[in-house]
Amino acid sequence: MSKRHEHRSRSRLSDVAERAGVSAVTVSRAIRHPEMVTPKLRKRIDKAIHELAYVPNRAASMLASSRTRLIGVVVSSLTNGVFADFLRALHDLFLPEGFHVMVLDSRYVPGEEETAIATLLGQHPEAMIVSSIDQTPRARQLLKRSGIPVVQTMELAKSPIDINIGLSHEAAGYAATRYLIELGHRRIGVIGAPRDSRLHNRIAGYERAMREAGLDMTGLAGRSSNPSSVVLGGELMRGLVERCADLEAVFCCNDDLALGALFECHRLGISVPERISLIGFNDLEYAACAYPSLTSVLTPRYEMGRKTAEIVLEIIRGSGKRPPRRRIDIGFKIMERESTRRRDIRPPVRTARNARQSEQV
C-alpha cells in the first residue's frame, strides 16, 4: 500500500477489532454501550480507537439502535453574544448525558431558519431547540410532524408548537421605559435595529409605557434595518441628539447599541448619567464593565438553556411524556448601575418679583 493511499484510507470497525484482538461485535458494543464491557477490555478498545483515529459511523449506529443521541439547535446568530450563555448551558447539561449538540445559524432570516430546521431533522435528532417563535408555515409544519420534542425559546409564544421557554420582550421593554419614567425623565428616546420579533416587541413595550404616561414620542425613535452593532448604536444616538436638544434618557434595545450610545455621548461631551440616562438590554458581561457601568435588562439566558435541556432530558427518559406546563415564563430583571440616575427636578427659584406676580393672580 502506498503512503498516499494509506493517508487517505479511513479506519474501519474491523481494523479496530483486529488491533484490539476482539470481534467487531465487541467493539460495536463498547462504543454504543460501554457499561456492558469490562473496564480492562474497554481500555484496550479505546487505545486501538485512538491509535487508528477511528470515527464511528453514525448512520450505521442509527440503523442498529434507532438512537442518534443528537440534539438539533437553531439560533438566530452565532456571532451575537446573547446566545453564548444559552448554548453553554445546553452543552453543560447534554454532553455529560452522552448527547451531542449540533448548532446551525439562521442569521435572523426566516427562510434560512427553515432550511436549517430541515437540515437538522435530516440527521434524525432526538429533540429540536429553536431560538425563536416566528417560524415560517413550512418550518412549523416540519417541527410539528417531526415526532420529537420541540422547544421554542428566547421569547413567549401565543401558540407554541410543543414547549415554549422564554420571556415577554414587550413586558421587558415596557418595564425598562417605566423605570426611566419613574426616575423623573420625560423626553425618553429609543434606539433599535428591529430585525426580528424580539426587537419589535421591545419597542412596542416602550411605546405602550410612553402612551400610558401621556408622553410625546415625536422624533424620539432611532431605528435602522442594518445589523445591530456598537457602531450603529453611536450613529443612532447621534441622530437622536441632533433631533432632540432636550433629550433626557434613551432606552437602547440591546447592549451593543447601548455601548455605542455611551461612546457617542463621550465623543459629544454629553455627561452620562448627569445629562442623559442610558439603559440597555440583555445585560451582557461588558455592561457591568463599561464606564460608567450600564444599567440593563437582564435576560436569564443560561437559566433558559438549563431549563430547556432539563425538560428535553425528562421527555426523552420518560418515553415522550410532556411536563404539565408547556409555556414557561423565565422572566427578566432590571440591573441598575451608573448610567441611569434620578432626574434633578427643582422648583423654580422664588424671587421677590415673581412672588408679587403670583400674589396678584
Note the pLDDT tens digit of each residue in 231-254.
999 999 999 999 999 999 999 999
Identify the bridge partners of residue 206 per DSSP, sorted by sequence position: none
| pLDDT, tens only, 185-232 | 999 999 999 878 899 999 999 999 999 999 999 999 999 989 899 999
Instruction: Tell me the backbone φ, ψ of residue 283, rounded to 5 degrees.
Output: 55, 60
CA pair distance 176, 293, nearest whole angstrom: 16
CA pair distance 155, 11, nearest whole angstrom: 45
Compute how many other C-beta atoms are within 10 angstroms of the C-beta atom of residue 291.
10
β-pairing, 188-192 vs 327-329, is unpaired
CA pair distance 313, 214, nearest whole angstrom: 48
Q: What cell was used for 282? A: 440583555
| pLDDT, tens only, 58-86 | 655 555 556 789 999 999 999 888 999 99
In the prediction, which pLDDT does 62 show? 57
| pLDDT, tens only, 30-60 | 887 788 889 899 899 999 998 888 887 765 5
CA pair distance 202, 223, nearest whole angstrom: 12
Compute how many other C-beta atoms are within 10 angstroms of the C-beta atom of residue 354.
11
| pLDDT, tens only, 258-298 | 999 999 999 999 999 999 999 999 999 999 999 999 999 99
Does this model's pTM top 0.85? My answer is no
Ordered structural domains, the chain, with CATH = 3-65 (1.10.260.40), 70-167+302-331 (3.40.50.2300), 169-298 (3.40.50.2300)
| pLDDT, tens only, 112-164 | 999 999 999 999 999 999 999 999 999 999 999 999 999 999 999 999 999 99
CA pair distance 255, 259, nearest whole angstrom: 6
pLDDT at 356 over 60: no
Compute how many other C-beta atoms are within 10 angstroms of the C-beta atom of residue 111.
12
Give, as one character, the DSSP assignment of residue 142. H
